[in-house]
Amino acid sequence: MLKTPIARGVALATLGATLAIPTMAQAAFVEDTKAGLELRNFYFNRDFRQDNLTSANQSKQEEWAQGFILRVESGYTEGTVGFGVDALGLLGVKLYSSEDTAGSGLMPSSFGNEAPDDFSEFGLTAKAKLSETVLKVGTLQLKNQAIGTSDSRLLPQVMQGAQLVSKEIKDLTLEAGYANRINHRDSMNHELMAVNGATAFGKTTNTRGIVMDANAVNESDEFVFLGGNYKLMDNLTAGYYYSNLEDLYKQHSYNLVHVLPLGDKQSLKTDLRYARSTDDGSSNVDNKALGAMVTYSLSGHSFGLGYQKMSGDTGFAYLAGATDPFLVNYVQINDFANEDEKSWQARYDFNFASIGVPGLTFMTRYVTGDNFERSAGVEGKEWERDMDIAYTFQEGALKNLNLKWRNATARSNGTGNDINENRLIASYTIPLM
């Protein structure tokens, strides 16, 4: 139900298409509509610490901005096939940036190019529902084994395309999708898609080892995926996805998750991942990515150990522009997915609700990787340590306000970046209906 007359007005203004729907069909469409405005304040500071910095290199990224994220999700019209429309409004406002410290990913900016005072985006998504199958067309945020649009900065990354999700069969979720453009988290433009870390033919290769064929360009206007997840038993789920970035790469991704109860407030979770990536005509992509994460949980404590191994002629292939790859060792700064790289992760989480402090959480992890080529004859080595502390107010005037401090330190040999990083994030969502 709509909570206030103002909320009803917001729904009708945003979803003006409802005026054409018969009165009886409007009821569920409007009454099931949900809307919220997230206020996200984000401070980002990344200090480059490597010894090879010169006067021409950027020594620090530092920006501060205020984001406004409006999400409206309508209900469905009545009938065998229900129709609806969602809306996503994004606005970023600069609080601090300079040409010397720009390029954090918060705003459309780069070193030597100060961010604009504000930037915005508005997207609509038409949707239709038949039984337990939903089709969406328009602005999409996607999260699966094939593609993960990033929401780790001021505003989320979105794609333009179509998505079909079906849950007609118990314990089985099937999904298919298509996208032809991507709007990155620090952009106002809908752009063609590219493969992360690819180098033009004849140019010096990097640690990823992905090279475009002669006369080929690193861009595509078609990304497709197909797959799903099946709950084999109460504590065992299997997943498979196929994806293709036209002309650039094809990928098969497999996932198996098992949760073993061990007694009172104890469990052992095993997350196994494997992906096989090959070229699609215009690149040399050839990668096998194996990952495993085992987590033991006891009351509010969680202890995790992860392993990730890259093999083949290149590193792991995924969409460029800070999309989230489906890798166990993809962390705050690095993905540890260079050609032939092997990496280990140790992680600890604690939920303070277990000792009577609900809303307070802590996480720390350490990842170390090696066995890749940094430069001719030099074995690459890198490590990263992360720490997150977050608190969500449980009551009072600040109820549901979330505060988070994210800290990271990353070091590498050779030409890699040495980074000290801090992110301070305050988020509060105002329910509009």
Whether residue 18 is predicted with pLDDT greater than 50 in this model: the reply is no
Higher-confidence residue: 312 or 19? Answer: 312
How sure is the predictor about 54, in pLDDT bands with cuts at 50, 70 and 90?
A: low
314: containing domain: 5-431
What pLDDT is recorded for position 288? 98
Q: What's the pLDDT tens digit per position in 212-222? A: 999 999 999 99
- Of 23-37, 326-340, 354-368, least confident by mean pLDDT is 23-37
What pLDDT is recorded for position 25? 57
Which neighbouring-strand residues pair with 274? 254, 290
Amino acid, single-letter form, for residue 73: E
Could you give the CA distance from residue 159 to residue 302 in angstroms, rounded to a whole number?
34
- Of 41-55, 194-208, 301-315, least confident by mean pLDDT is 41-55
At which residue do the structure tokens 């170390």 appear?
368
Each as own residue / partner, the long-range contacts of residues 333-337 (CB below 8 Å, 24 or more positions apart, any chain) are 333/384, 333/408, 333/410, 333/419, 333/421, 334/367, 334/369, 334/382, 334/384, 334/410, 336/308, 336/367, 336/369, 336/382, 337/208, 337/289, 337/308, 337/310
Paired tokens of 177: 């999708």
Mean residue pLDDT of the chain comes to 92
Residue 189 sits at the vertex; the CA angle it makes with 188 and 195, to the nearest 5 degrees, is 120
Whether residue 56 is predicted with pLDDT greater than 90 in this model: the reply is no
Q: In the chain, pLDDT over 70 holds for what percent of residues?
A: 93
Could you give the CA distance from residue 12 to residue 70 in angstroms, rounded to a whole number?
15
Higher-confidence residue: 25 or 316? Answer: 316
At which residue do the structure tokens 């522009």 appear?
321
What pLDDT is recorded for position 26? 66
How sure is the predictor about 41, in pLDDT bands with cuts at 50, 70 and 90?
A: very high
At which residue do the structure tokens 């890699």 appear?
416
Task: Summarize the confidence of residues 249-271 as an average pLDDT.
Answer: 96
Q: 315 with 339: CB under 8 angstroms?
A: yes
Q: What's the pLDDT tens digit per position in 299-326? A: 999 999 999 999 999 999 999 988 999 9
What pLDDT is recorded for position 414? 74
Could you give the CA distance from residue 141 to residue 123 in angstroms, rounded to a whole number?
11
**Closest C-alpha among 186, 210, 205, 180 to residue 313:** 210
Q: CATH number of the domain that 426 lies in? A: 2.40.160.10
Residue 148 sits at the vertex; the CA angle it makes with 143 and 153, to the nearest 5 degrees, is 110
Residue 12 sits at the vertex; the CA angle it makes with 8 and 14, to the nearest 5 degrees, is 115
Q: What's the pLDDT tens digit per position in 378-390? A: 899 999 999 999 9
3-state secondary structure of 353: helix
Length in residues, the chain = 433
Whether residue 14 is predicted with pLDDT greater than 80 in this model: the reply is no
Residue 168 CA, distance from chain mean position: 27
Whether residue 2 is predicted with pLDDT greater than 50 in this model: the reply is no
How sure is the predictor about 395, in pLDDT bands with cuts at 50, 70 and 90?
A: very high
CB environment 30-66: b (16+ within 10 A), e (fewer) = bebbebebbebbbbbbbebebeeeeeeebeebbbbbb
Q: What's the pLDDT tens digit per position in 130-178? A: 999 999 999 999 999 999 999 999 999 999 999 999 999 999 999 999 9
Strands in 118-185 per DSSP E? 118-130, 133-140, 158-166, 172-183
Q: 361 with 349: CB under 8 angstroms?
A: yes
Could you give the CA distance from residue 181 to residue 149 in angstroms, rounded to a whole number?
12
- Of 18-22, 46-50, 192-196, 327-331, least confident by mean pLDDT is 18-22
How sure is the predictor about 1, in pLDDT bands with cuts at 50, 70 and 90?
A: very low
What pLDDT is recorded for position 136? 98
How many domains does the structure of the chain reveal? Answer: 1
How sure is the predictor about 50, in pLDDT bands with cuts at 50, 70 and 90?
A: confident
What pLDDT is recorded for position 416? 75
Q: What's the pLDDT tens digit per position in 236-253? A: 999 999 999 999 999 999
Q: 11 with 26: CB under 8 angstroms?
A: no
What pLDDT is recorded for position 55? 57
